[in-house]
């Protein structure tokens, strides 16, 4: 495995469902149409500043505060197969049955500085028990930094993924719901970013329910063209 350590790789670990959420993502949905039908869509994920500071250093290997082309290429090579194993955390509907994105997206990465997304304060360790805590994926030795620790940042940042998906066929209707069922990662759609043809609601069935009786339903964006 390459030396990039990123949060979504932990989705397949056995003990990821201990604290909920550990990671908060603000999702922006973009739709692309041609000849009166949707052909592609983009999901923009902005990671909360706390998680971003965990994940940016292993990705930004040269420490210049940006994600260069080679760094982004290496990240995409690791991330897309892992996301595909969990259905890209996303369900689609174009008028029939729900389905997962059929092909991996293109992935571009950048850093927002200062942060454009800061969620409300929450307890990232809520629900953890000391005896259950998983140390997580060990940092590769060449990534372990015990000396020359950089100074603490005074400006919050967001790690940002932009994922562009192709639909299997053009459609006038497109519904998108993204959720991580263990609530390890909380994905909330930014309502201020909705395209004009789209509406935001809660999905009636897709949910996470880490605390019994207190489900968190997926945000669902539905877009229609005349």
Q: pLDDT tens across 109-141, in order?
A: 999 999 999 999 988 877 765 555 444 445 445
Say if residues 37 and 171 touch (Cβ distance below 8 Å).
Answer: yes
- Give me the domain span that covers residue 64: 20-134+152-224
Q: Which residues pair with 174 in a beta bridge?
A: 223
Q: pLDDT tens across 181-226, in order?
A: 999 999 999 999 999 999 999 999 999 998 889 999 999 999 999 9
Q: pLDDT tens across 136-165, in order?
A: 445 445 444 444 444 556 799 999 999 999
Say if residues 203 and 10 touch (Cβ distance below 8 Å).
Answer: no
Chain centre to alpha carbon of residue 5: 15
Residue 7 has pLDDT above 70, yes or no: no
74 assigned to some structural domain: yes
Say if residues 103 and 165 touch (Cβ distance below 8 Å).
Answer: yes
Stated as kind and residue range, the H or E segment containing 74 is helix 69-85
The number of distinct structural domains making up the chain is: 1
Q: Count helices and strands (H / E) in the chain.
A: 2, 9
Global pTM reads 0.84
Q: pLDDT tens across 190-202, in order?
A: 999 999 999 999 9
156 assigned to some structural domain: yes
139 assigned to some structural domain: no
- Position 84 scores a pLDDT of 94
The whole-angstrom separation of Cα 106 and Cα 97 is: 24
The whole-angstrom separation of Cα 31 and Cα 43 is: 9
- Take residue 53 and report the two structure tokens written for it: 């500071």
Sheet containing 216-224: which strands, arranged edge to edge?
Answer: 90-93, 173-178, 216-224, 198-208
72 assigned to some structural domain: yes
According to DSSP, the β-strands at 106-112 and 23-34 are: unpaired
10 assigned to some structural domain: no
51 assigned to some structural domain: yes
């Amino acid at each position: 495995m390459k030396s990039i350590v990123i949060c979504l790789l932990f989705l397949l670990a056995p003990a990821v469902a201990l604290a909920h959420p550990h990671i908060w993502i603000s999702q922006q949905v973009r739709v692309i149409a041609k000849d009166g039908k949707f052909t592609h869509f983009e999901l923009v994920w902005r990671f909360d500043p706390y998680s971003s500071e965990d994940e940016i250093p292993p990705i930004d290997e040269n420490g210049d505060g940006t994600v260069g082309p080679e760094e982004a290429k290496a990240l995409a090579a690791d991330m897309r197969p892992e996301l595909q194993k969990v259905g890209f955390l996303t369900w689609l509907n174009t008028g029939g049955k729900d389905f997962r994105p059929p092909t991996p997206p293109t992935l571009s990465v950048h850093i927002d500085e200062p942060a454009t997304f800061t969620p409300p304060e929450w307890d990232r360790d809520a629900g953890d028990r000391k005896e259950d805590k998983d140390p997580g994926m060990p940092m590769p030795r060449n990534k372990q930094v015990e000396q020359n620790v950089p100074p603490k940042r005074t400006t919050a940042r967001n790690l940002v993924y932009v994922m562009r998906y192709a639909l299997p066929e053009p459609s006038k209707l497109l519904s998108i719901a993204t959720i991580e069922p263990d609530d390890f990662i909380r994905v909330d759609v930014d309502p201020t970013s909705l395209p004009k043809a789209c509406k935001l609601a809660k999905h009636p069935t897709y949910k996470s329910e880490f605390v019994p009786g207190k489900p968190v339903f997926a945000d669902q964006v539905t877009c229609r063209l005349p």
